[in-house]
Amino acid sequence: MEKIIGDWHTKVMLSEDEAKDICKMGDGEECCAFLVCGNDSFECIRMSYPANVSIFSRLKKGTIKEKGEGGWSGCAWQSKL
């Protein structure tokens, strides 16, 4: 896992195994809604403004399959590196 902290967002890059273990990728509704896939990598956008705004909105409206909001043990945006 690689975490880059900026003024307006924190970029967290994860491997596929980390996405499965930490963000619950593949666990349906349990999966974190803030996990996104890029070019051969995964990223947590929980603390990435403005990308996270649409996810927060969709969670509030209930229009997204994934219901996880992170914050659990080992969560990428909360853990210290």
pTM of the full structure: 0.85
Paired tokens of 50: 């403005």
Per-residue pLDDT of 13-62, as tens digits, reads 999 999 999 999 999 999 999 999 977 789 999 988 888 999 999 999 99
Identify the pLDDT of residue 40. 77
- Kindly state the DSSP code that residue 32 receives in the 8-state scheme: B
**Average pLDDT of span 1-13:** 84
Q: Are 34 and 43 in contact (CB under 8 A)?
A: no
Identify the pLDDT of residue 55. 95
